[in-house]
């Protein structure tokens, strides 16, 4: 069962390595239509109901001054809400 309240996390500390990179990345994704506008968590809950968010982090690219943005989707996995006795997977 999904949480009844919204859950959101602070970004990982590595996100502080270059906050302008994150800002530029988000603006670029919004311009391409991949990201929506930003929402206050309480406003978003009123629009879509309960939700989970994932923290961001930055990983420096080797031998470069560039970064890779990581959206940590495994930080709080949706799978934690699955009762394993009620689900099975076969390959």
The reported pTM is 0.67
What is the rounded end-to-end Cα distance, in angstroms, of the chain? 25
Q: Is 88 helix (H, G, I), strand (E, B) or coil?
A: coil
Q: How far apart are CA 58 and CA 19, in angstroms?
A: 9
Q: Is 58 inside any structural domain?
A: yes
Task: State the pLDDT at residue 24.
Answer: 95
88 falls within a domain: no
Predicted confidence (pLDDT) at residue 2 exceeds the cutoff of 60:
no
Does residue 91 form part of some domain? no
Q: Whole-angstrom Cα distance, residue 67 to residue 72?
A: 15
| Three-state DSSP class for residue 58 | strand
Residue 58: CB atoms within 10 Å: 22
Query: pLDDT category, 6, cuts 50, 70, 90?
Result: low
pLDDT tens per residue across span 42-88: 898 899 888 878 889 999 999 999 999 998 877 765 556 666 676 66
Report how many domains make up the chain: 1
Over the stretch 16-46, which tens digit does the pLDDT of each residue have?
Answer: 999 999 999 999 999 999 999 989 888 988 9
User: Does 23 map to a domain?
Assistant: yes
Residue 31 domain-assigned? yes
d(CA 28, CA 58): 16
Structural domain span for residue 69:
13-76
| Residue that is written with structure tokens 């069962």 in the block | 1
Q: Is residue 59 part of a domain?
A: yes
């Amino acid at each position: 069962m999904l949480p009844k309240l919204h859950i959101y996390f602070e970004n990982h500390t590595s996100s502080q390595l270059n906050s302008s990179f994150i800002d530029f990345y988000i603006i670029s994704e919004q311009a391409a239509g991949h990201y929506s506008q930003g929402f206050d968590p309480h406003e978003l809950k009123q629009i879509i109901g309960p939700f989970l968010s994932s923290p961001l982090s930055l990983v420096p690219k080797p031998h470069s001054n560039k970064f890779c943005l990581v959206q940590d989707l495994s930080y709080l996995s949706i799978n934690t809400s699955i009762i394993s006795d009620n689900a099975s997977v076969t390959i």
